[in-house]
Amino acid sequence: MSASLKAIDGTAELPSLMADLATRARAAARVLSLASPEQKNRALDAMERAIRARASAILAANAEDVAEARASGATSAFIDRLTLTQARIDAMADGIRTVRDIADPVGVVTESWQRPNGMTIERVRVPLGVVAVIFESRPNVAADAGVLCLKSGNAVILRGGSDSFRSCRAIHVCLVQGLREADLPEAAITLVPTRDRAAVGLLLTGLNGGIDVIVPRGGKSLVARVEAEARVPVFAHLEGVNHVYVDHAANLEMAKSIVLNAKMRRPGVCGAAETLLVDRAGAATSLKPLVEMLIDAGCEVRGDDVVQRADSRVKPASDEDWDTEYEDAIIAARIVDGVDEAIAHIHHHGSHHTDAIVTEDAKTAQKFLNEVDSAIVLHNASTQFADGGEFGFGAEIGIATGKFHARGPVGAEQLTSFKYRVHGTGQTRP
Amino acid sequence: MSASLKAIDGTAELPSLMADLATRARAAARVLSLASPEQKNRALDAMERAIRARASAILAANAEDVAEARASGATSAFIDRLTLTQARIDAMADGIRTVRDIADPVGVVTESWQRPNGMTIERVRVPLGVVAVIFESRPNVAADAGVLCLKSGNAVILRGGSDSFRSCRAIHVCLVQGLREADLPEAAITLVPTRDRAAVGLLLTGLNGGIDVIVPRGGKSLVARVEAEARVPVFAHLEGVNHVYVDHAANLEMAKSIVLNAKMRRPGVCGAAETLLVDRAGAATSLKPLVEMLIDAGCEVRGDDVVQRADSRVKPASDEDWDTEYEDAIIAARIVDGVDEAIAHIHHHGSHHTDAIVTEDAKTAQKFLNEVDSAIVLHNASTQFADGGEFGFGAEIGIATGKFHARGPVGAEQLTSFKYRVHGTGQTRP
């Protein structure tokens, strides 16, 4: 570890350091909330240029992080998430340009109406304020989250996993350079300048009103800790225990294509399907082809009794399987008695993330879409569309599974609040 | 205290009682979320009838509460809030009809767009789930909050001040009768059936996922406790330290009429003005008439040096006055150097509730409306319009001063979340 890293690790001054960060972020947020779209885009352009120009410095910093992680025995999956390549750096820079090109949400009048007394009321989007993003080993989140917060007029405090500290710092240098070139305050995007894990606990307290919302980006244990400890609002992004229900009135070819895509396109993303529900009334024709297809594609199928009989390679499902987010090429599969039992199963076992029905029956589809209480419900489409880009949001900071403020893909618009502007001509209230 | 009240007070079974309430409320919320507008309106009609029919029973229960409060030495202001009259009962019943006539927010598609791959995405309003309303001595809140939650498809758990327990129970009987007549689950509107104050602490824990949002309705100490202890989202309704800024370009007659109304129409409501800011550039003509008018109307004025010189009856303002919500016929007044200092003062001392500017200069007004970071900002209109009814929302459950989810008047629409319905024709993600 370099001297400069050691110097700020584990000092007794951490609480005052963090309080100071929050104060400066709050002041920056006020400036940002009034910045023009052009000024913010100038910063984003400069950030993109800086990321591309400093790619070798970022890769060098990342190599140090990776070496340290390897030496400490990190898993290969961990190393993969931590490692940056030229391609990943290019993707980061491209992502900044994508955010630059999103419509600026701030200042947009979403509703406007006149009252009988002649007053006009407008509802207009304003930034939330200061967003804290707590993430794990993927250093690219520093850029992705930083620029999305900037676009939406929010200041952001970034806290990456301590293993990715050098990488995040190298990326942060580029973001700050962009702010500087656009005459925006550097505290608009702050990286917590210490690897001390106590900093996370301090962020979760809200730093005495200094933080308006916390966005956890990472695995279950991080999200669970944030949910349990946070004293400020959290954009909860819980697991995606997502279902595909194949109704008896499904087109079998469509069902096969959707199920395969929903599970196997990328088994590790949060929009991947984890459970297949097959309508008993259609099982005679649909079950065997679906199960065979999955297993032939390299997916482990864990089934109930009926599903086990469909193919000898099916493993028995335990009670736990119905509640599990595998994030892997594994799917739980069971028979249900029609759409009602499918809805009941999802109500009981789902995580309110993303669920799909395959059917040619419009009425059944409508029932499913209405009654399944998830952020995203799809008819005849793959659950893997659960993604801000696929929704047309340009970019996202995560998929919210709570119902408060944001739900589903959290894009620039969901990172705003609103206020009411009232235009009068001297009205007083009787 | 009657035997039936005592029987459930302070028992060791409170945690399991509360957990049970939450479980039943959750189940009721699911039914409510799918109830048609007509079914909910049938319940509201029946509730209105029941309130009118049982007025004497409600008054009798209230008389017991009032007698007990008097005996325990409650203040006259407290007794006033607690006391129901035939007029207040009529207002409650009228309020139910108003809510019945609001547009049903549930199921409304607020946005709809098509993706390049042919999928259609709809954003549709859905209820939040289970709302807990914690209020103090005004028993009419039980009806007002109960029916607004019902209209928006949410189950509600009501917890009134223990002093109003009998009154709330009598009102609750009417609400339950309405639910029953419309075949809706009785647990859709639950009154915590005990005066044990520990029930509040249990509600604030969120009852293990049983409560989605908490709405505190009451004074500062209640709101502060809820904010400090709640483990679930809160519709924060903090105090209203509201300002009227009279610019040098104001029409003096309009300024007088707005300032008088903003402070004196009802000095105790949260939309009342607490601080008057007068532009130095216009003070020579505006200050004396404004101050005289207020004092002549019975308002105490606490001013800075300049304001004190305007009228010998002005009292000196202390530092504290700038941060005080008087809720009374008192106003703090000072001179500021134009709109910039007015904005800075509000930024420093305001509570992000409601602030107004009086000016004939459109550019100055625009600056004020953009830069003052409050839920409601008004140009040439009284701050007393900070009210859901005045906004055209029909009814409200409070004025939210936070930026998360709801802001400003919290009406039926703000008590909803949304979900995305995706309509495909077999799309899979590349």
> Using the 8-state DSSP alphabet, how is residue B402 labeled?
S
Calculate how close chain A gets to B5, using CA atoms only, in Å.
35
The answer to whether the CB atoms of A373 and B419 lie below 8 A apart is: yes
Q: Which of B408, B421, B428 sits opposite A257 (nearest CB)?
A: B428
Predicted local distance difference test score (pLDDT) of residue A12: 61
Residues recorded for chain B: 430
CB contact under 8 A, A380 and B417: no
Indicate left, alpha or beta for B118 from its phi (over 0: left) and psi (-120 to 50: alpha). left
Q: Which of A260, A407, A419 sits opposite B374 (nearest CB)?
A: A419
pLDDT at B11: 55
Domain that holds residue A45: 3-235+411-420
Per-residue confidence (pLDDT) for residue A5, from 0 to 100:
47
pLDDT band at B239 (very low <50, low <70, confident <90, very high): confident
Instruction: Please tell me which of the candidates B381, B387, B422 has its beta carbon nearest to residue A424.
Output: B381
- Asked if residue A161 belongs to a domain, the reply is yes
Residues of B in contact with A423 (CB under 8 A): 378-381
Which of A215-219, A352-356, A407-411, B164-168 has the least mean pLDDT? A215-219
Average pLDDT over residues B65-81: 94
Question: pLDDT category, B5, cuts 50, 70, 90?
Answer: very low
Mutate: best of A32, A124, A253, A404, partner B, most B CBs <10 A: A404
Cβ atoms within 10 Å of A85's Cβ, excluding its own: 11
CATH of the domain at B373: 3.40.309.10
Q: Is residue A428 part of a domain?
A: no
Is residue B57 within 8 A of residue B98, CB to CB? The reply is no
Segment B301-330, tens digit of pLDDT: 999 999 999 999 999 999 999 999 998 999
Same domain, B246 and B231: no
Measured between CA atoms, the residue of chain A closest to residue B205 is A228
A406 lies in a domain? no
Closest CA to A277 of A200, A194, A364: A364
Residue B138 located in a structural domain: yes
| A377 neighbourhood in chain B, CB within 8 Å | 419-422
- In chain B, what percentage of residues exceed pLDDT 90? 85
Q: Classify residue B397: in a domain, yes or no.
A: no
B392 with A113: Cβ contact below 8 A: yes
Measured distance CA(B351)–CA(B324) in Å, rounded: 10
Indicate whether B207 and B294 sit together in one domain. Answer: no
Say whether pLDDT at B8 is over 70.
no
Q: What is the pLDDT of residues B274-290, one digit of tens each?
A: 999 999 999 999 999 99
Report chain B residues whose CB lies below 8 A from the CB of A421: 369, 377-379
Pair type for strands B109-114 and A416-427: unpaired
For residue A153, give the CATH number of its domain. 3.40.605.10
One-letter amino acid for residue B417 of the chain: S
Question: Which H or E element spans position A245?
Answer: strand A242-246
CA distance A340 to chain B (A): 14
**Pick from B379, B391, B422: CB nearest A381:** B422
Which DSSP letter does residue A249 get?
A: T
Q: CB B404 to CB A404 under 8 A? A: yes
**pLDDT value for B6:** 43
Q: Residue A293 and residue A316: Cα distance in Å, rounded?
A: 18
Which strands form B120-127's sheet, in the order they lie side by side? A315-316, A300-303, A330-336, A273-279, A242-246, A354-358, A376-381, B416-427, B120-127, B109-114
Domain co-membership, A67 together with A197:
yes
- Same domain for B250 and B183: no
State how far the Cα of A411 lies from the Cα of A407, in Å rounded to an integer: 10
Asked if the structure places residue A122 within a domain, the reply is yes
The secondary structure of residue A414, as a DSSP letter, is G
Name which residue leads in pLDDT, B260 or A209. B260
Residue B189, helix vs strand vs coil: strand
Measure in Å the smallest separation between the Cα of B356 and chain A Cα atoms.
9
Residues A108 and A191 in one domain: yes
Q: Are residues A199 and A303 in the same domain?
A: no
B206 and B79 inside one domain = yes
All residues of chain A having their beta carbon less than 8 Å from the beta carbon of residue B404 are 128, 212-213, 233, 404-405, 417
Residues of A in contact with B425 (CB under 8 A): 380-381
Between chain A and chain B, how many beta carbons pairs sit less than 8 Å apart? 177
Residue type (1 letter), B290: L
Based on the fold, state whether residues A247 and A231 are members of the same structural domain.
no
Read off the pLDDT of residues A299-332 as tens digits, 9 standing for 90 and up: 999 999 999 999 999 999 999 999 999 989 999 9
Q: How high is the mean pLDDT of chain A? A: 94
Tens of pLDDT, residues B175-229: 999 999 999 999 999 999 999 989 999 999 999 889 999 999 888 888 888 888 8
Of residues B347 and B222, more confidently modeled: B347
Whether residue A237 has pLDDT greater than 80: no
∠ Cα A71 A75 A81 (to 5°)? 100
**Domain identity same for A173 and A272:** no
Return the bridge partners of A316, or none.
A303
**B257·A425 Cβ contact <8 A:** no
Residue with tokens 């009086």: B358
Copy the structure tokens of residue A131.
């967003």
Reported for B175-178, long-range contacts at CB under 8 A and 24+ positions apart, including other chains, are B175/B47, B175/B50, B175/B142, B175/B143, B175/B146, B175/B147, B177/B46, B177/B47, B177/B50, B178/B43, B178/B44, B178/B45, B178/B46, B178/B47, B178/B48, B178/B49, B178/B50
The answer to whether residues A148 and A412 touch, using CB atoms and an 8 Å cutoff, is yes
Identify all chain B residues contacting A119, using CB atoms and an 8 Å cutoff: 381, 385
Mean pLDDT of B13-26: 94
Picking from A235, A403, A415 by the largest number of B CB atoms within 10 A of its own CB, the best residue to mutate is: A403
How far apart are alpha carbons A40 and A44 in whole angstroms? 6
A107-126 CB burial, b ≥16 within 10 A, e <16: beeeeeeebeeebebbbbbb
- Residue A217 sits in the same domain as residue A248: no
- Alpha-carbon distance A63 to nearest alpha carbon in chain B (angstroms): 32
Q: From A117, which residue of chain B is nearest by alpha-carbon distance?
A: B390
- List all residues 6 or more positions away from A224 whose beta carbon is below 8 Å from its beta carbon: none
What average pLDDT does chain B have?
94
Sorting pLDDT into bands at 50, 70 and 90, what band is A362?
very high
pLDDT band at A395 (very low <50, low <70, confident <90, very high): confident
* Total domain count, chain B: 2
Residue B400 CB contacts under 8 Å (≥ 6 apart), including other chains: B235, B236, B237, B375, B406, B407, B408, B409, B410, B414
User: B414 and B288 in one domain?
Assistant: no
The token pair at A45 is 């352009």
pLDDT of amino acid B155 = 98
In one-letter notation, the amino acid at residue A62 is: N
Token look-up 């995706």 returns: B422
Q: Is residue A364 part of a domain?
A: yes
Same domain, yes or no, for B64 and B169? yes
The yes-or-no verdict on residue A4 having pLDDT over 50 is no
pLDDT tens for A29-46 read 999 999 999 999 999 999
Give the relative orientation of helices B37-53 and B140-151 as an angle to the nearest 10 degrees: 160
Is residue A284 very low, low, confident or very high in pLDDT (cuts 50, 70, 90)?
Answer: very high
CB contact under 8 A, A385 and B30: no
B277 inside domain: yes
Q: How many Å lie between the alpha carbon of B7 and the closest alpha carbon of chain A?
A: 35
Q: What is the pLDDT of residue A396?
A: 87
Cα(B140)–Cα(B148) distance, rounded to whole angstroms?
A: 13
Picking from B277, B286, B278, B279, the residue whose alpha carbon sits closest to that of residue B251 is: B286
Long-range contacts of B200-204 (CB under 8 A, 24+ apart): B200/B134, B200/B159, B200/B225, B201/B229, B202/B14, B202/B15, B202/B18, B203/B18, B203/B132, B203/B134, B203/B157, B203/B159, B204/B229, B204/B230, B204/B231, B204/B232
Enter the DSSP assignment of A234. B
Query: pLDDT at position B12, please?
Result: 61
* A261 → chain B, closest CA residue: B428
How many C-beta atoms lie closer than 10 Å to residue A386's C-beta?
A: 30
